[in-house]
Every structure is written in C-alpha cells, then in structure tokens.
Amino acid sequence: MANVTISSMPALSTLVGTTIFPVVNINTNYQVSAAQIQTFCNNTANNITTQANLVANNAIITTSVTSNSITATTLTSTNFNTTYIGAGNAIVTGNIRGGNISTTGNLSAGNISVTNSVYFSDGSSQSTAYPNKTKAAFVNPGVPVQVGNLQVQLAPSGNTSLQLKWLGTGNLTLAGSGSFTLYNDGYPGAETLPQNITTLVINNSGFTYISAGDDFNIGADQSYWVLVDLTSTYAWRITAVMGNQYATPAYANTMIFVEQLVP
C-alpha cells in the first residue's frame, strides 16, 4: 500500500460508505471502509468518552458516559457523569451527576446529584440542599406552589393573601405564627406586624386562607409563616413576596417559597 499523508486524507464532509481508510497496526496494513466505521460507531459501547458533545437519537450505553455535553432523544445508561445533559427522556439505573440537567420529558434515576438547583418546566426550582422538601416559583394568583401534599397559592379573588390546600386524606389542624410587611405606596418605610393562629383546618375540599383578614395591596409586600400540625407532626415555612399590583393580572409573578421542615 502506498504511503498516505494526513494532508491527503479525505475530508469528513466528503466521505461516502465506500471510502477506504488505511489503517496501520504493528507494521500490518488494513483497509477499513467508512461504512464499517459508521457501523462500529453506531454499535452499543461499554464506555463513551468525548471531549465535546455526544449527539444521538438514541444513546444506549451499558456502563458509563463521560462527556461535556449530551443531547439525545433517549438516554439509557447505568451512569452519567457530564457537565450538561439535555434530553427528551433520561433513563438511568445508577447515578446522574451534572452541573445542569434539563429534560423536556422524563428524568428517572437511582440517584440524581446536581450542584445547585433543579429547574422545572413551569419555571420553578428546587434546592438540592433539601431535595423534595422545598420549592420556589414566581406564580400568578390562583396558581399553587406544591411541596409534598401541601399547596400554597395567592388568592385569585377576595382579599389578596395566602391560601392553603391539603391534598392528603382527612384534615390537618395547623397552628403557628408569622408576620406580614406592608409597604406604603409612594412613601418611604414599611410596617411589619406579627401574627399567630391557633386552629387552622385545611383539607382537599378547597383552598383556605391562612389569615382571612390579610389583604396585601402593594407590590413587594411580604408574608411569612411557620406552621405545624402536632398530630401528624408536619411543619412548614412559607414565604411570599407580592408581585406588581399594576400588572395584568394584578400581583402577577408573586414569589412563593415553601419549605417542609418536618418530616
């Protein structure tokens, strides 16, 4: 076989299945076609290591993936260790570790390790410090933020303040304390007042005001509560910052943060 220099190798963009590659291994020459290389690359592999991106309709790896970026319709592997995963469905029997993990479909794994937060398609996020126990979101009135079986929303009508709904069975009877901060429209300063409740019954029949008399009317007004049910030993911390009262709808993009403290 004639000597072949790198400069005379065909460009990747011009390759066809019949293109022949010269291969040298321990002084033995082989000829491998581009079609054979393509078949080899498309086969299931035990390990795939890339310095840049892995792009595929279906990536099926029996052992592990290490890559800067993975984009695929479906990812199936034992372990992923990557900077960024973007996929329709990521199905992992072992662990996922990444700086950013984004899926438009389903994310399923034995363990998911994310550096900072998990972001959901509705724009909300969840802290990785307390997985499945916290959630924060900018929402409009009548749109609940849910942690476990507790939903918290800004009332869509009537007095503008927080409401709760329990999605579990039976009733919860809550007690606790908090505060609300009212800002003076057009004037400097604010007023913060303490609050407490001793008996607040919530269930799955509908939303119930935490404090029916509260009526926030200025953007950036704040509501803060720590509530417990001593019978079922639940406890939550709830914070809300009112959105712009002049927006459409009024108080759009109110920030609600819910944290389940116990259990």
Is there a domain that residue 145 lies in?
A: yes
- The residue among 77, 72, 106 whose CA lies nearest residue 89 is 106
Amino acid at site 211: S
Burial of 24 (0-12, 13-18, 19+ CB in 10 A): exposed
Residues written for the chain: 263
pLDDT digits (tens, 9 = 90+) for 39-91: 665 555 555 666 556 666 566 665 566 665 666 655 666 556 565 566 555 65
> Is 247 found in the same domain as 152?
yes
Is there a domain that residue 222 lies in?
A: yes
pLDDT at 182: 85
Q: Give strand pairing partners of 104.
A: none
Q: How many domains does the chain have?
A: 3
Q: Which residues contact 221 (CB under 8 A, 6 or more apart)?
A: 180, 181, 182, 183, 241, 242
pLDDT at 62: 57
> Is 158 found in the same domain as 74?
no
> Is 237 found in the same domain as 141?
yes
pLDDT at 238: 98
Is there a domain that residue 125 lies in?
A: no
pLDDT at 183: 80
> Is 80 found in the same domain as 18?
no
DSSP element (H, E) containing 64: strand 53-108
> Is 38 found in the same domain as 63?
no
Is there a domain that residue 128 lies in?
A: no
> Is 175 found in the same domain as 92?
no
Those residues of the chain that have pLDDT short of 50 are: none
> Is 232 found in the same domain as 167?
yes
**CA gap 243, 29 in Å, rounded:** 72
**CA gap 41, 62 in Å, rounded:** 15
Q: Which residues contact 61 (CB under 8 A, 6 or more apart)?
A: 44, 45, 46, 47, 48, 76, 77, 78
pLDDT at 193: 87
Is there a domain that residue 123 lies in?
A: no
pLDDT at 55: 63
> Is 209 found in the same domain as 163?
yes
pLDDT at 85: 63
3-state secondary structure of 7: helix
Q: Which residues contact 257 (CB under 8 A, 6 or more apart)?
A: 134, 135, 136, 145, 238, 239, 240
3-state secondary structure of 203: strand
Is there a domain that residue 127 lies in?
A: no
> Is 58 found in the same domain as 22?
no
End-to-end CA distance of the chain: 73
Is there a domain that residue 238 lies in?
A: yes
**CA gap 243, 263 in Å, rounded:** 31
> Is 58 found in the same domain as 28?
no
> Is 18 found in the same domain as 68?
no
> Is 253 found in the same domain as 235?
yes
Give the range of the structural domain holding residue 174, as residue numbers without chain letter: 134-262
Q: What is the largest CA-CA distance in the chain?
A: 91
Q: Which residues contact 36 (CB under 8 A, 6 or more apart)?
A: none
pTM: 0.55
Is there a domain that residue 1 lies in?
A: no
